Structure 1
Amino acid sequence: GTIRVVGDVGQRLGEGMAGGTLTVTGTAGPFAGTGATGGTITIAGDAGDYAGGAVYAAKAGLDGATLVIKGTAGRHLGDRMRRGLILVERAGDYAGSRMIAGTIAAGSVGDDAGYGMRRGTLLLGSHGRLTPTFVETGEHDLVFLRLLARSLKTLSPRHAEIAAGPLRRYSGDLATIAKGEIWAAA
């Protein structure tokens, strides 16, 4: 089904959502999309801290859904995210922290993106300071990036352009199992 909210909403928007479409014309509080396993959540404005992140005592945050934030997300975007896709224009510090898997595409993020990340992909137009536990592996031209750009085109042409452009890869977080990656515009 489809739900459209005109105005602002509080915390835990779309918690546990399994399918359908949820659209908010205003802003959302913290933990938007937590535990969502399917469907698409679109927030026209800003989202609070821990959007797509896990609530206290939960095993994972976003778990297979698509979360689109057209404004700014707070700190810890996608914290302990397990699966799915998050698109955001700007995010605060610690985007993708403790990420288990999934993809986050952001125009820009603050400091310490990917902190404690186990697996997953961060696609960033720009970023603040990275932790020293991420290692630069150079520029690559991979088929995966072209496929990612093609799939993002319908949701956000801006993010598709980032994926299609020259990117520098960082591998980490070496403080964990180091199977995560950050792709940043070169």
Structure 2
Amino acid sequence: MKGFMDEAYRGKARSRRLETRREDIVFGLEDLADRVGLRPARQDVEALAPDDPSLFARLIASDPGRKHGMIWGYLSSIAAERSAEPLRLPCRDYVGFEMRGGVILLERAGDHVGEMMCGGRIFVRGEAGDYLGQEMAGGGIVAEGCGDYAFRKMRAGWGVVLADAGKFLGIGNCGGRIAVRGGCGKRAGWLMRGGSLRVRGDAGEYLGLLMSGGEIRVSGRAGMRAGWRMKGGTILAKAFGPEAAPDVMGLE
């Protein structure tokens, strides 16, 4: 058999994934990473995720550090999907990575929470870090506040920020709905192509920069150069700073 495999691969290293069986026991995150690599696809992690609840709980309880953050993120999503009750998790990066269903509850959150999720719900009672809900394709996120690049390249789903959002909110979006009850930083809606963005407070400069579709509505004041070089879409605000594009509209 060894000779046959060596001949088949002609001296090339065989992938560990091809030699891993579904029933193999995973002893920890390091062991799992050795088998799937540091940047695996979700199906690679899911294929080796233990069915035994105690083993799975041990993986979730492990501290992934920066090295195994994405793998732990996949595991957090799989755990939420398997759980009949809302799942409480610690503050980590990549919580709910590519999540498809279930509910995750967080007291506060790290970076990349809910990234590429397509279903389920994530509730953050405190602040979330950067890249909240990046590349979302479904589901919903509620957070007290968030850092920069929230809901970037969003395609579908919804996000609610109960206080303030950072810079670069909703840039490159082609769908989905974002509601911010506070204000947001500069360049919100940059390169936006679709979807909607609602801001109850004020928005920073360059709102809707280069946008070509979708709708932005600001109940407060938009900073300077709102709608600069916009090609389509709608921007409405109660007031605008200097050098606003001629296509922007005031709220009555």
For normalisation by structure 2, the TM-score amounts to 0.51
Q: Does 1:19 align with 2:136?
A: no
Aligned residue type for 2:235: I
CA distance change for structure 1 residues 67 and 75 in 2, over 3 Å: closer, same or farther? same
Contact 2:190 2:211 in 1 (8 A): yes
Q: Does 1:97 align with 2:190?
A: yes
Aligned residue type for 2:120: G
CA distance change for structure 1 residues 120 and 130 in 2, over 3 Å: closer, same or farther? farther
Higher RCO (Cα < 8 Å, 6 or more apart): 1
Deviation at 1:78, TM superposition (A): 0.3
Which residue matches 1:123? 217
For normalisation by structure 1, the TM-score amounts to 0.69
Contact 2:109 2:129 in 1 (8 A): yes
Which residue matches 1:144? none
Q: Does 1:112 align with 2:112?
A: no
Between the aligned partners of 1:5 and 1:22, the Cα distance in structure 2 is 6
RMSD over aligned Cα atoms: 1.6
Higher helix share: 2
Which residue matches 2:145? 46
The C-alpha deviation readout for 1:112-161, integer Å capped at 9, x for no partner, is 210111111001101233427x4xxxxxxxxxxxxxxxxxxxxxxxxxxx
Between the aligned partners of 1:11 and 1:101, the Cα distance in structure 2 is 24
Higher strand share: 1
Unmatched runs of 5 consecutive residues or more in structure 2: 1-100, 238-250
Unmatched runs of 5 consecutive residues or more in structure 1: 54-60, 135-172
The C-alpha deviation readout for 1:45-84, integer Å capped at 9, x for no partner, is 210001011xxxxxxx111010111111001100111110
Which residue matches 1:58? none
Deviation at 1:11, TM superposition (A): 0.9
Using the aligned pairs only, state the percent identity. 28
Q: Does 1:85 align with 2:177?
A: yes
Contact 1:37 1:65 in 2 (8 A): yes
Q: Does 1:71 align with 2:163?
A: yes
Aligned residue type for 1:51: A
Moved segments of 4+, more than 3 Å: none
Contact 2:204 2:224 in 1 (8 A): no
Which residue matches 2:236? 183
Between the aligned partners of 2:115 and 2:196, the Cα distance in structure 1 is 19
